[in-house]
A and B are shown apart, each in its own frame.
Chain A
Amino acid sequence: MDLPVVSEETAPKKSGCSAGSCGSSDDQLGHLADDIRQKVQDHPCYSEEAHHYFARMHVAVAPACNIQCHYCNRKYDCANESRPGVVSELMTPAQAVKKTLAVAATIPQMTVLGIAGPGDPLANPERTFATFRELAVKAPDIKLCVSTNGLSLPQHVDELAKHNIDHVTITINCIDPDVGAQIYPWIFWNNTRIHGREAAAILIEQQQKGLEMLVARGILVKVNSVLIPGVNDQHLKEVSKVVKAKGAFLHNVMPLIAEAEHGTFYGVMGQRSPSPAELKALQDSCEGDMNMMRHCRQCRADAVGLLGEDRGAEFTLDKIEQMDIDYEKAMEFRAEVRAGIQAELDAKRAAAHNVVPIANAPAGRPVLMAVAAKGPLINVHFGHAREFMVYEASHSGARFVGHRKAESYCAGDETCGDGESVLDKTIQALEGCEAVLCSKIGYEPWGTLEAAGIQPNGEHAMEPIEDAVMAVWREMLAAGKLDAPLQAKKRA
């Protein structure tokens, strides 16, 4: 198979605005050049819109790692956990290819295959590239992407370009070695384990070099950062500016996940995670400089399906063995399904152009609203929601700002629960939201939510999310609820 040669000429063109302030927040991809938009419009991890329609999967072929991060514990394996680095079943490249083809035949919306661990894909180059090589031939319609800590990225950039991998995610938590020394206890570099500040300095240098080399080859780079309160929270604004200036096109700031049960340094040492409000404040402050991603679900290294739903259990190795698949037909079917989705999205975009913004709108403060939905419509019962999407409604429209999990990260064994009811946890998770929109809601949670200052609303079932959010905001505005600034609410 001929792989297109990626050269300087095909590097992404700069969009019209170079001031860096054009990250139009209600249309995340609005300011991107057409060629980049083409590359990301069906990639659920790169496009907020796409993640409602298209699915992805990760194959866990890369167990080895060349660094230690304080938020990671290499011993972990739990089927009930959903967070990066966790997997249940390590696979050989041949098994990974088989699984990918089986999933792609069963879930025709699947557009992307990523390798994200459980270690670092580029610390396992043979296993990672063997998987990519075979899939490029057997499923050329599936996009390949990789996520890396960046330490050995420079030495593998040419190989990545050769395999037509046009999406790479680098986790960059800092550009200052003094900050890095508080995040990375060691790296393995030039046959030596190196500790502390020296280790962080080498890692940062390789990450930045790798980022520049990828951009020079026209490969799209997303930067992931873990927000660690008191460690890199202020620093991440600088990180965002620098990676944007070097050509990364999307920045994904994720909250630290740290529980003592996970056995990580941060978990055991009592480092706290950021609140949703802290995360949003940082994302908002970076937004002026950088296109921010807010729909990340921090998925497992063996996740399967749409973001936020994991269908991995349907595709264990023994189940795949039983499947009878016609690969050619599956690829044709995928093409049909994708064309259908694209047509739907095009129609939606065309309709959006006809919406007239509220003229001479009276002032009213922005309001956060939680939405129970799978896909673009409000279609989930409050009690069934495992996560809520959060929108900020204001006179300039509805803007997606993130999601909140409705259950704790682990609902498995007895080490997880701490005696609080699920509803109490949900109310905590929805902190800052003034309304929750869902298809239906029971009498009891209704009262509890209201008492906590969150207005339940089931009147917009099966309506498009943005329309419903704006309708509720306008009602609140008309009722005079948005004149005064939001008072800090007491906990119910």
Chain B
Amino acid sequence: MALEIVESCVNCFACQPLCPNDAIFEAKPHFLIDADKCTECLGDYADAQCASICPIEGAIVDELNVALNPPGSLTGIPPQRWATAQAEIRARGSATGGETL
């Protein structure tokens, strides 16, 4: 069993020093977890340390590809509200697109 860091990682370094197994390492384009070393913190901590400090929803997943921090769980923004806001921004962008200030 091992966790995985995926492409939404913003390379903030927060998880790396917390890993009890030293399984997390800096890489391009984002940090990675050595699957052979990762124990998901079993026996060391109640919660996986990387996923407990990671600020980005969806950036850390388990072997079933399930996000440990699903959408809305960290920011408090309901996913529906997020989608609406993004649509509004796109609409504004296309309305004023090409205009120079």
| Minimum C-beta distance from A124 to chain B (A) | 7
* Contact A414-B47, Cβ < 8 Å, known A68-B55, A75-B56, A260-B85: no
Are A191 and B49 in contact, CB atoms less than 8 angstroms apart? Answer: yes
Q: In the complex, what residues of A have CB within 8 A of residue B66's CB?
A: none
Q: For the complex, is A375 an interface residue (Cβ under 8 Å from B)?
A: no
- Report the Cα distance A229→B93, complex, angstroms: 27
Minimum distance in angstroms from A131 CB to a CB of chain B: 14
- B14 neighbours in A (Cβ, 8 Å): 63-66, 119, 123, 188
- Specify the chain A residue showing the minimal Cβ separation from B15: A64
Interface residue? B21 (CB, 8 A): no
Roughly how many angstroms separate A459 CA and B11 CA in the complex, as a whole number?
53
> Contact at A64–B49, with CB atoms within 8 Å?
no
Nearest Cβ on chain B to A27's Cβ, whole angstroms: 39
B93 to A193, Cβ gap below 8 A?
A: no
Please indicate the chain B residues that have their CB under 8 angstroms from the CB of A119 in the complex.
12, 14
Q: Are A64 and B101 in contact (CB under 8 A)?
A: no
Tell which of A239-247, A292-300, A321-329, A417-425 binds the partner: A417-425
Contact with A along B66-89 (1 / 0, CB 8 A): 000000001111000110010011
Given contacts A191-B45, A414-B93, contact A124 B76 (CB under 8 A): no
Partner of A418, one of B46, B81, B96: B96
Q: Is B1 engaged at the interface, CB distance under 8 Å to the other chain? A: no
Residue of B nearest to A415 (CB): B93
Q: Does B43 contact A (CB under 8 A)?
A: no
Query: Does residue B29 face the partner (Cβ distance < 8 Å to A)?
Result: no
A66-B14, A417-B101, A419-B99 known; A268 and B77 CB under 8 Å?
A: yes
Do the beta carbons of B11 and A90 come within 8 Å of each other? yes
A186 contacts partner chain B, Cβ-Cβ < 8 Å:
yes
Contacts of B98 in A (CB 8 A): 414
In the complex, the answer to whether A268 meets B85 with C-beta atoms within 8 Å is: yes
Chain A: minimal CB distance from B91 (Å): 11
How many chain A residues sit at the interface, stated as a range, is 20 to 34
Q: Does A192 contact B (CB under 8 A)?
A: yes
Contact of A192 with B96 at beta-carbon distance under 8 Å, contacts A63-B13, A90-B11, A185-B74 already known: no
C-beta contact mask, A242-270 vs B, less than 8 Å → 1, else 0?
00000000000000000011000101110
* Shortest beta-carbon distance from B78 to chain A in Å: 9
**Contact: B93 with A74, CB < 8 Å?**
no
CB-CB under 8 A from B55, the residues of chain A are: 65, 68, 74
The answer on a CB contact under 8 Å between A74 and B81 is: no
A415 touches B12 (CB 8 A): no
Q: List residues of chain B with CB within 8 A of the CB of A418.
A: 92, 96
A54 to B: closest C-beta gap in Å: 31
Query: When the two chains form the complex, which single residue of B10, B52, B96 contacts A419, counting CB atoms closer than 8 Å?
Result: B96
Interface centre among B49, B76, B89, B96 (most CB of A within 10 A): B76
**Residue contact B52 to A193, C-beta cutoff 8 Å:** yes
For residue B42, CB closer than 8 A to chain A, the reply is: no
A223-240 contacts to B, CB under 8 A, are none
Question: Do A193 and B47 have beta carbons less than 8 Å apart?
Answer: yes
List, sorted by A's number, 22 A–B pairs whose CB atoms are closer than 8 Å: A63-B11, A63-B13, A64-B13, A64-B14, A65-B12, A66-B14, A75-B56, A119-B12, A124-B13, A126-B17, A191-B18, A192-B46, A192-B47, A265-B76, A268-B77, A268-B82, A269-B77, A414-B93, A415-B89, A417-B99, A417-B101, A419-B99
**Interface contacts beyond A185-B74, A193-B47: sample of 15 additional A-B pairs, CB < 8 Å, sorted by A:** A63-B11, A63-B12, A64-B53, A66-B53, A74-B55, A75-B10, A75-B56, A124-B13, A188-B14, A191-B52, A260-B88, A268-B81, A415-B92, A417-B101, A419-B95
A interface residue numbers (CB < 8 A to B): 63-66, 68, 70, 74-75, 90, 119, 123-124, 126-127, 185-186, 188, 191-193, 260-261, 265, 267-269, 411, 414-415, 417-419, 422
Listed from nearest, the 5 A-B pairs whose CB atoms lie closest are A64-B14, A74-B55, A63-B12, A193-B52, A188-B53
